[in-house]
Amino acid sequence: MKDSFYKYICELQDTIAAALELADGVATFKEDLWKRPEGGGGRTRVLEGGAVFEKGGVNISGVHGTLPKSMLAHLNVSEASFYACGLSLVLHPKNPMAPTVHANWRYFEMYDLNGKIVDQWFGGGLDLTPYYLFEEDAVHFHQICKNVCDQNDPKFYPEYKKKCDSYFWNSHRNEARGVGGLFFDYLKPSSEKSLKQWYTFVTDVANNFLEAYLPVLNKRKDLPYTPEQKKWQEIRRGRYVEFNLVHDKGTLFGLKTNGRIESILMSLPPTVQWHYDYHPKIKSREEELMKVIKKPRNWV
């Protein structure tokens, strides 16, 4: 399974990167191959200063080794080794009318002292972070998420949509990071679903990422905007940074397992602002977004 999924994410990285270069029209991805001293490595691809994307990254990695003490405690085991691979992407458009998007699809195996697999699971999802609310964009994004879930199991969309709203929640701000999407983790083989069925579901979700995001991006990337609207985008990007550094499990896992810092922090936007006790104007478009951020909505 690990070989099949790693081969898949290598091909997916090529597909997504090519589509994003086409959407930008100017910038191309810079590729950075790296190795992890403890075992494994990855292929980081970053795009900066484009016509559409201020910054974007589409990274893959496959790493292995002995689980560090912090992760042993988290997984409630005394001693183990692991293999983890996945694709992670974050795209920060230049235009504040276009939303930031994040997606991740990953696979994990854990082994005992004899090298036998004792646990294995898939995880991942995708989520949208707008700076200005266009309801039809959120509806489109969630409809694609629902469609692909329904093709696999009608129970999936409501469950993984709810988990996404719960996970991408800045508890210290009491607000969501964006308008959600899907989030799933610890998808393990069971009497109900085989590992192959989980593989099919996760790859189906990943294969529909471009259909979920590119139509939204293409509708918003050339809209006019003011310096004040750019300022609001950068203030909201600050909240994005806060979530990634304080709450995100992927970031914390990377830091605790001696991950490659440049790849881990690739998700952070290039320009951000923090203002003391900032509040948007009453009845403004900025306040309209905040009402949705404070209380997750059912979009479809």
What is the tens place of the pLDDT at every residue in 184-216?
A: 999 999 999 999 999 999 999 999 999 999 999
Higher-confidence residue of 233 and 38: namely 233
- Output the pLDDT for position 113: 85
Is 102 catalytic? The answer is yes
- Output the pLDDT for position 59: 96
What are the structural domains of the chain? 2-294 (3.40.1500.10)
Distance CA(200)–CA(186), nearest Å, equals: 15
Could you tell me the two tokens for 287?
Answer: 């306040």
- Output the pLDDT for position 218: 98
Q: Of 64, 74, 102, 142, which is the active-site residue? A: 102
Distance CA(206)–CA(10), nearest Å, equals: 12
